[in-house]
């Protein structure tokens, strides 16, 4: 515990009061599984009210919001949405009980892990130690089959609902070992590789440059629909600012951009229930 734990306790009191309206001592005790005894929980509540006097107010045995409170960024709606987006739904982190007080559903229609159990651990080890690994991988290009690829892991990346490995392709010396994307569930297997790196390799970091994509809205959209789409896609001055690696997938989802000529797309077709 110590100072960091106390800080977590203070933030919990703040978030709970802002989002639920009040905090009682039992909330603090339960949120931290009894790590804070009753006396300590009360002390944290009092300290929180002192630290954020324009937000919190102590009334007898509870903390409540002040009239017309100022909401610190630590308890803002942006912070709440970020926590939900990253799956941080624990009571101590959110200040709300999920699902009893706040209903949250996460809908997934794809797997995130590689096909072979243990393959993800190999990938994680390669990332931690910054060492080459080998992937048995298949993409969706025409006539592609799974083959072993020697790569140098750079970072994991989540794009939308898809988890990917960003890695340098050590088999592509002609292109100076470029950074490529490997969709995790399309990895059949992974194994350790010779740790020696090519002599002239330039190690790449995980940064992805931003690019601006000029767009125009579908003229069939109503004014309200146009405003909603501009907000959703963060369109400013008829442009979308997006990471270069995500550009193609974003345009495939929201525009009529065709699939790449060498890709097998779409990979599935819906079948009528009455068909045999």
pLDDT at res. 152:
97
d(CA 197, CA 130): 10
Q: Kindly report the pTM of this predicted structure.
A: 0.84
Is the model more confident about 106 or about 9?
Answer: 9
pLDDT at res. 222:
98
Any idea where the domains of the chain sit in the sequence? Answer: 6-94, 119-192, 210-254
d(CA 228, CA 222): 10
Q: Dump pLDDT digits (tens) for 82-121.
A: 999 999 999 999 999 999 999 999 888 999 999 999 999 9
**Bridge partners (DSSP) listed for residue 236:** 239
Please tell us whether the domain made up of 6-94 is placed in CATH 1.10.10: yes
Q: Dump pLDDT digits (tens) for 186-224.
A: 999 999 999 999 988 988 877 778 999 999 999 999 999
Annotation: CATH topology of 119-192: SH3 type barrels. (2.30.30)
């Amino acid at each position: 515990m110590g100072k960091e734990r106390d800080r977590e306790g203070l933030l919990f009191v703040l978030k709970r009061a802002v989002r639920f309206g009040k905090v009682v001592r039992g909330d603090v005790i339960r949120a931290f599984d009894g790590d804070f005894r009753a006396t300590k929980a009360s002390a944290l509540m009092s300290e929180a009210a002192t630290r954020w006097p324009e937000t919190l107010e102590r009334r007898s045995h509870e903390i409540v919001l002040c009239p017309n409170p100022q909401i610190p960024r630590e308890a803002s709606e942006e912070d709440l949405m970020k926590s939900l987006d990253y799956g941080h739904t624990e009571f101590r982190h959110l200040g709300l009980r999920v699902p009893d007080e706040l209903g949250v559903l996460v809908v997934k229609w794809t797997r995130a892990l590689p096909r072979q159990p243990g393959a993800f651990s190999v990938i994680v080890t390669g990332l931690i130690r910054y060492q080459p690994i080998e992937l048995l991988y298949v993409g969706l290009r025409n006539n592609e089959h799974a083959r072993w690829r020697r790569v140098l892991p750079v970072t994991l990346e989540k794009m939308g609902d898809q988890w990917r490995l960003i890695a340098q392709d050590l088999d592509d010396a002609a292109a100076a070992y470029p950074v490529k994307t490997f969709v995790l569930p399309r990895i059949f297997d992974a194994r350790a590789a010779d740790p020696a790196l090519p002599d002239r390799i330039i190690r790449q970091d995980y940064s992805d440059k931003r690019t601006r994509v000029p767009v125009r809205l579908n003229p069939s959209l109503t004014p309200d629909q146009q405003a909603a789409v501009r907000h959703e896609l963060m369109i400013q001055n008829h442009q979308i600012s997006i990471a270069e690696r995500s550009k193609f997938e974003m345009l495939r989802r929201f525009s009529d951009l065709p699939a790449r000529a060498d890709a097998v797309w779409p990979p599935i077709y819906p079948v009528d229930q009455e068909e045999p």
